[in-house]
């Protein structure tokens, strides 16, 4: 067996490795701190693999071109940060309604507006859920280590292909620029999924065939001609004003994710079996939380960590179950309470929920979490 390659990678470089491993062969975007290294990496790697890279005039052009690459049959990705993520929202809604697979990486930074480009934040959690208008499906994964950025990027591509929907990879500037040893998986070691292709004759093909929860998607240029529009549409892709079809379509694109959330959810539990106080957090803040839990345990305090690797769909079942067993859930986040409100919603008053916020461009430290937990014991 060939020896596996081990590399010292920056988080953004690990994202590139994950995308290439998953089969991404089209990237379009625009440089923006602190995600630019993803674009730089893809510009080097893709041409060597027969893929395509293009720098567009802005973030809107970047995601629009990536959607075109996906419709042409290539696994496609774009990456951005803060203000660029805001600019992409209209096209994200378009991708949701037209059911185009796409991976969108958002390396979060301080805001609002230009904010603090070189500082970490976790301020885009709610924008990932509600940034585009209307009811739409949302899948967002949240790695906490550089190796996880690789594997979660692969998972994001799998989810996008499986559910015909955009999938977001959310991590913050600290992880994007941190370096850690990463073992590059061998071919076949990680699951790589491809979108379903139609098995019917071209003349019988409908891109939104109502016989399917998730219809097969034919690549443009493969002999299957079909229409794509951001308007509510019939199963052939052409616009409709039929209220019954509009309702059924809107409900279906939500249902395809909702009924499969068990397979989308992914959580890590640390010392929760006997925990009296739990910590709920993501990304680089979870690294501080893990250290705090270990120190609290040394002090005889029964603390534990619930770390979601899928923040959307929100892990409401795991939080609800946890709230029945602990005195309090502490929610450290580098914003002013975006996850805390969701935890409160799921806990339904069964335990105390306390947010720990920081928005000064500095990370939440283990000592801050340590002292917050001690208030409840």
Q: How far is CA 220 from CA 141, 202, 227, in A?
A: 29, 12, 10
CB atoms within 10 A of CB 263: 10
Say what the pLDDT of residue 2 is.
55
What are 19-53's pLDDT values in tens digits?
A: 999 999 999 999 999 999 999 999 999 999 999 99
Q: How confident is the model at residue 60 (pLDDT cuts 50, 70, 90)?
A: very high
Q: What is the mean pLDDT of residues 12-23?
A: 98
| Consecutive H or E run containing 374 | helix 366-374
Q: What is the mean pLDDT of residues 299-326?
A: 97
- Reduced to 3 states (helix: H, G, I; strand: E, B; else coil), residue 20 is helix
For the full predicted model, state whether its pTM sits above 0.85: yes
Q: What is the mean pLDDT of residues 176-192?
A: 97
Q: How far is CA 291 from CA 80, 175, 237, 274, 331, in A?
A: 30, 16, 51, 18, 15
What are 191-227's pLDDT values in tens digits?
A: 999 999 999 999 999 999 999 999 999 999 999 999 9
CATH architecture label of 266-374: 3-Layer(aba) Sandwich (3.40)
Say what the pLDDT of residue 116 is.
92
Q: How confident is the model at residue 4 (pLDDT cuts 50, 70, 90)?
A: confident
| Consecutive H or E run containing 46 | helix 36-48
**What is the DSSP-derived secondary structure letter of residue 271?**
S
Please report the DSSP string for 107-140 in residue order: EEEE-STT-EEEEE--TTHHHHHHSSSSS---EE
The CATH code for residues 6-183 is: 3.40.50.970
Task: Supply the angle between the helices 36-48 and 11-22 in degrees, to the nearest 10.
Answer: 40
Q: What is the mean pLDDT of residues 87-97?
A: 98
Residues of the chain with CATH 3.40.50.970: 6-183
What are 121-161's pLDDT values in tens digits?
A: 999 999 999 999 999 999 999 999 999 999 999 999 999 99
Residues of the chain with CATH 3.40.50.920: 266-374
């Amino acid at each position: 067996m060939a020896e596996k390659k081990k590399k010292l990678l920056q988080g953004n470089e690990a994202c590139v490795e994950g995308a290439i491993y998953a089969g991404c062969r089209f990237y379009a975007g625009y440089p923006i701190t602190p995600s630019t290294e993803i674009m730089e990496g893809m510009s080097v790697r893709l041409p060597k693999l027969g893929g395509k890279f293009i720098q567009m005039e802005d973030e809107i052009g970047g995601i629009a071109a990536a959607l075109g690459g996906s419709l042409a049959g290539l696994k496609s990705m774009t990456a951005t940060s803060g203000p660029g993520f805001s600019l992409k929202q209209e096209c994200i809604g378009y991708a949701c309604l037209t059911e185009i697979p796409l991976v969108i990486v958002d390396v979060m930074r301080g805001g609002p507006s230009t904010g603090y480009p070189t500082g970490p934040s976790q301020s885009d959690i709610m924008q990932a859920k509600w940034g585009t208008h209307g009811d739409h499906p949302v899948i967002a994964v949240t790695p906490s280590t550089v190796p996880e950025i690789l594997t979660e990027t692969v998972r994001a591509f799998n989810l996008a292909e499986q559910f015909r929907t955009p999938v977001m990879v959310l991590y913050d500037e600290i992880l994007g620029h941190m370096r850690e040893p990463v073992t590059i998986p061998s071919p076949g070691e990680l699951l790589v999924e491809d979108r379903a292709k139609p098995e019917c004759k071209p003349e019988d093909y409908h891109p939104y065939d109502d016989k399917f929860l998730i219809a097969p998607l034919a690549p443009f240029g493969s002999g299957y001609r079909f229409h794509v529009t951001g308007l509510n549409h019939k199963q052939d892709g052409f616009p409709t004003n039929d209220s019954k079809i509009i309702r059924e379509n809107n409900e279906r694109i939500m249902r395809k994710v909702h009924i499969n959330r068990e397979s989308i959810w992914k959580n890590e539990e640390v010392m929760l079996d006997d925990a009296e106080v739990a910590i709920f957090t993501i990304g680089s803040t979870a690294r501080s939380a893990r250290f705090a839990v270990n120190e609290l345990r040394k002090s005889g305090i029964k603390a534990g960590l619930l770390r979601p690797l899928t923040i959307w769909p929100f892990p409401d079942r795991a939080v609800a179950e946890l709230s029945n067993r602990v005195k309090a859930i502490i929610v450290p986040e580098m914003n002013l309470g975006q996850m805390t409100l969701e935890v409160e919603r799921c806990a339904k008053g069964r335990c105390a929920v306390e947010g720990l916020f920081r928005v000064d461009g500095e990370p939440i430290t283990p000592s801050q979490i340590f002292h917050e937990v001690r208030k409840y014991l």
